[in-house]
Amino acid sequence: MLDRMIPPTEQEQLEFYHAIAQIIAPHPLTIRTADLGADKLPPYLNLEPEANPFLGCRGIRQSLAQPELFKTQLRAILRASSQFNLRLMLPMISCIPQIIEIISELSLQEVMAECRIKTPLIR
């Protein structure tokens, strides 16, 4: 889906998640939200190259910078979770304010969440 000129719709994502979840059911499906930026630059984002793209605006930072795309993906995941055992993985969480902002995006939704902080080591 990275070569598209327009982002995938909620329905397209939902159908994709359903198809995979059906294959592996009853085992859980972990869905990682889009880790866009760095080496994944879909045309529909119109992103400018960065000096250090692997530490720049990518992962959750990119998702929070593109709230409509992020909300669309979250809605598709949450809809799929009503029928299947899903887990949500959020890439490149690096600080508490990001977690707070994500929780506000997921407000009033029952989501089982596990947070594992893992970011590149800068030397």
- Largest Cα separation within the chain, whole Å, is 44
Structure tokens at 80: 């799929």
86-115 pLDDT per residue, tens:
888 888 887 888 888 887 777 645 555 555
Q: How far apart are CA 21 and CA 1, in angstroms?
A: 18
The H-or-E segment that residue 86 falls in is strand 86-89
49 pLDDT tier (thresholds 50, 70, 90): confident
58 pLDDT tier (thresholds 50, 70, 90): confident
Once rounded to an integer, what is the mean pLDDT over residues 33-50? 74
Q: Is the dihedral of CA 41, 21, 68, 60 positive or negative?
A: negative
Q: Which residue has the higher pLDDT, 104 or 39?
A: 104
Q: How far apart are CA 80 and CA 46, in angstroms?
A: 29
- Contact yes or no for 115/93 (Cβ under 8 A): yes
Q: Please give the model's pTM, rounded to 2 decimal places.
A: 0.78
